A and B are shown apart, each in its own frame.
Chain A
């Protein structure tokens, strides 16, 4: 559902462009954090604003997905829903398991924001196998 070809519909093109824009926004903020661009806001009220700003592209992605489903036909809508639910479910299950492993099995700490790239990684692995609406 992510590749653009000559037979792509207008809705598919809008979905890919919006997804790349929101993923790009999220990635830019992450890179900026890694390189210390926001170190000066640590432990200040501005840090809360930054935390909400990081989640904004994720909200945008949810809107993009819902808009794509609304603009698509019944088959695309069904497959999209399956792909999203499976990827979100696996990502949540893995992250929940890791959280308990941190608490009870001394696993190294994983930052909460990693769940978003994890979701996309799972989606990338599972989506090619979900081509049926059944």
Chain B
């Protein structure tokens, strides 16, 4: 799933490890999200949205829209 996670993370100067800790997931999971090797669950997508204070649709492109 296409997303702006890497852009949002680097804007804040965070490493994948730091973002993973903030979300409660592994660095591998953050890397997989950024490289589109993993589509997040609804729960994780909302956690990411809350962390960046943005709607989910601003971070993840809706593939069905």
Give A residues with C-beta under 8 Å from B: 7, 9, 12, 72-76, 78, 131-134
A131, B31: Cα distance in complex, Å: 11
**B25 at the A interface (CB under 8 A):** yes
Give the shortest distance, in Å, between A98 (CB) and chain B (any CB).
34
B27/A75 in contact, CB under 8 A = no
B33 closest partner in A (C-beta) = A75
B38/A78 in contact, CB under 8 A = yes
Number of residues on chain B facing chain A (CB within 8 A): 15
Give B residues with C-beta under 8 Å from A: 17, 24-29, 32-33, 37-41, 44
A131, B25: Cα distance in complex, Å: 16
Residues of B within 8 A of A131 (CB): 32, 37
Among A12, A76, A134, the residue within 8 A (CB) of B29 is A76
B43 closest partner in A (C-beta) = A74
B37/A73 in contact, CB under 8 A = no
B25/A73 in contact, CB under 8 A = yes
Asked whether A72 and B38 contact (CB < 8 A) given A7-B17, A132-B32, the answer is no
A75/B25 in contact, CB under 8 A = yes
